Structure formats: C-alpha cells, structure tokens
Amino acid sequence: MEGDEPAGNNERRGTEHSPSGAQRGLRRAAARGGRRKGMGEGRGGGDAMGFVPRCDARPGGWCRSLWASHCHLMRTACSGRSISCGRLMLARPNAGAVRPSASATEPIFSFGVIADVQYADIPDGRSFLGVPRYYRHSLAVLWRAVRSWNAHGGVRFCVNFGDIVDGFCPRDRSLAAVRAVVREFDGFRGGPAYHMLGNHCLYNLPRSELVSELRMPSPPGRAYYDFSPWPGYRFVVLDAYDFSAVGRARGDPVAAAARRFLEARNPNRDKNSPSGLEGAARRFVMFNGGVGGAQLRWLDGVLRGAAARREKAVVCSHLPVHPGAASPTGLMWNYEEVAAVVRRHGGCVVACLAGHDHKGGYAVDDRGVHHRTLEAALECPPGTDAFGRVEVYPDRLRLVGSDRMASTEMLLNSSSSDSVSSTG
C-alpha cells in the first residue's frame, strides 16, 4: 500500500513531494545527456579519470548538482558532502551521471527496472562466494524504486527481472514474502508491473503459483509473454527456466532431461558447482536454465511479427544471453540459440535486458543489439540503491540508474532508429 513501510525494515527513506516546475526542469536537465560509453567506467567512484563528482547543495538543502542526478530523482535532503550526497540514498555517486547531450529530446516513454530483489525476512547473509546479501533491505530498495518511478511521472510500466524472493526464505514463509514484494509493486501508479521467473523464485514455490501470484499475462501453463506498451514497441519476457531442473519435481520429464543435459556437461557431483569448467562452459550449473524449443519458436514468431510491423523490440530475461554482458556462470544454458533468434531479427531487437548476474554488465553485439545485465537490489548495503528507469527515445535507450545501478546510454543503429516514428 502506498506509504506503508515494507515489512521488516526500519530504514529511513527520502521524502516524496510533488515536484515543482523548477525542480521538474532540473530533473529533466539531469536526465538529458549522458556518457556516450554508458556504464563500465569507474563504477561508483567517479569516472575513469578519477573524477569524483561534488554536490553543490547546502547541507540539508536540495541537491542541485548535475553530477548526482538521482538526488533530484529521489529529492533527498543533501548533506552537501561529495560522496555522501543524499544521506539516505547514496553511499557513492552514480557512475553514469549525466553530461549534457546534443540530441536531447523528451523520451517517448519510460519504464522502471529492478532486478534480484531476493527478499526474505531473515538476517543478512552472504552468497556462496561470500558477497554480502541484505535480504530485508532489498525491500526498501524496491520501495524507493517505486517512489522514484511515481515521482518521475513518465514511467508507464516497470519490469522486475526475477528472483523476487530468496531461496533461504523459509518455505512456509515464501508465499508471504512474494506477496510482500508484489504489494510494493502495487504501489507503482504509472501502469503494470511485469515479472519473470528466476531460479530463487522456483526454489520454494511452484511455478504455476508464481505465475498466478505475479499476475503474468501469459496463457495457462506458460511463464513467457509479450506486450506492446506503446505503438511501435514490443517487449518480450522470456522464461529462462523453461528447460531447467529447478522448480520441477524429480520425476518431471523436463527436469529429467535437464539433469541429463547437465550430467553431460558438468562432471561435478554438486551440479551447482562450476568447478573445473572453463570459460562459457561454467554456465552449465543447476542454478541456470534455458529456453525450450517451443519457446524459441514462439520468440521467433513474435519477433517476426514485430519486424513486419516495424516495431522495436526489447527482450527481457532473468538470465543474460551475451557473454560480454555477464560472468560465464551467469549465462543462460542456450544463450547462443536465443541470441541467434535475436540476431535473425536484428533490426527489430534493440536491447536484451537481464538480471541474475548481480554485479551487472553491458555489451553491444555485432548487430548493434545492446545487452545490459542489471545490478542486484539484494546486494545494496543499507543506504544504497540499485534500480533505474529506461527512457526510450527514437534513437536511443537511456538507462538512468540509481547509485549502484550504473547509467547506460544505448544508441540505436540507424536501421532500428528508422523503424518507427517517435509517436509510433
């Protein structure tokens, strides 16, 4: 419910007001421009040259620095210190903070993005490899994401890239945890929230229950779908665990086939372990999965239709499908097959967005398709954030990230940017 505290989190948050015209102007100015190379430069601590942005606000005043764009977005009273700017939101300035751009116009529409909330009402912990995980705070990150999208006004829908609840959540409390997260998304006033399945969603809950709880607009028995949020644009949401051993009973034929698939590729007794596997072969672990044949054919058909209508398409998946945009252990089992379908409709697909690989990543393939893996909400220490909104322009997508989610400018190649007009 709007204004409610998320369960189990007492962290203070930024205030929300309706923006004045002047502040809206500032936010718009901050939202324009951007670093051409997108993310990957000096993440979180300034740019590649060691530049550390400074906040120009009086302590306690509103931050007006163009180098700390999300201070405007979150409208947080500012400490006036450089890297603690926005005492509730920012431990570090965002790497993709903005510079004026020559081709700035208003976006056609925007959408919110967040990945790997992995909420559980349990004490903080660590990943298998020792990376800290903040299971309760992740819900506060989502809370702030929703307020940010609401405050911005032009955000028409949002996409949650899966792993809504963590596998460590006690089984008998997992449904309540999913509902707590869905309740936060219900606070989003801009439009629908679109969800997808991640491995953690499937550890404790049956997929059919998840599809229903997450209100996926997919036909019965499926967890993949497409939608058109704006004339000339198509979004495809994949089920990356369609072919997987996760979330299926041992006797399930798909699970059995997936186990055989893994057995042939991963010699470890513990199939979650990539130990001894080299390069991209490290993806053959139990916590990953793949897109099955029927879904691949469906994807091909959706993209063929989109191309025929001269739509631009964005493919969303929990698992990344480009080795340059994720660590090998985070990749989809059959990323090449999905990438081949995407490449077949290369002028139509402008971006593939994903979650799962918590540190995030970015690559552009040889057809100019942008692959952006989003940083996880779960790994945000209290007081930090990882969410964003993607502004869609005729010639680019612009991810405006908050804090740990780096901003990324994704220029479309001319065949894509010509495919539809700005009004569809």
Ligand X SMILES: Nc1ccn([C@@H]2O[C@H](COP(=O)(O)OP(=O)(O)OC[C@H](O)CO)[C@@H](O)[C@H]2O)c(=O)n1
By the criterion CB under 6 A, which residues form the site for ligand X? 127-128, 163, 167, 199-200, 270, 272-274, 287, 327, 329-330, 356-358
Q: What are phi and psi of 406, to 5 degrees?
A: -70, 145
| Alpha helices per DSSP H over 120-228 | 137-152, 171-186, 199-204, 207-213
Please identify, using beta-carbon distances, which residue of 201 and 342 lies nearer to ligand X: 201
**By C-alpha distance, which of 382, 358, 369 is closest to 411?**
369
CA distance 80 to 60: 7
Q: What are phi and psi of 220, to 5 degrees?
A: -50, 140
DSSP 221-289: T---EEEEEETTEEEEE--TTSB-STTS-TT-HHHHHHHHHHHTT---SSTT--TT--GGGGG-STT--
**By C-alpha distance, which of 71, 25, 140, 44 is closest to 407?**
44
CA distance 161 to 237: 9
Please identify, using beta-carbon distances, which residue of 228 and 273 lies nearer to ligand X: 273
Burial group, residue 297, by CB count within 10 angstroms (0-12, 13-18, 19+): exposed
Please identify, using beta-carbon distances, which residue of 365 and 379 lies nearer to ligand X: 379
Please identify, using beta-carbon distances, which residue of 51 and 168 lies nearer to ligand X: 168
Smallest distance from the beta carbon of 92 to ligand X, in angstroms? 21
Please identify, using beta-carbon distances, which residue of 22 and 128 lies nearer to ligand X: 128
Smallest distance from the beta carbon of 245 to ligand X, in angstroms? 12
CA distance 152 to 389: 9
Please identify, using beta-carbon distances, which residue of 66 and 286 lies nearer to ligand X: 286
Please identify, using beta-carbon distances, which residue of 103 and 127 lies nearer to ligand X: 127
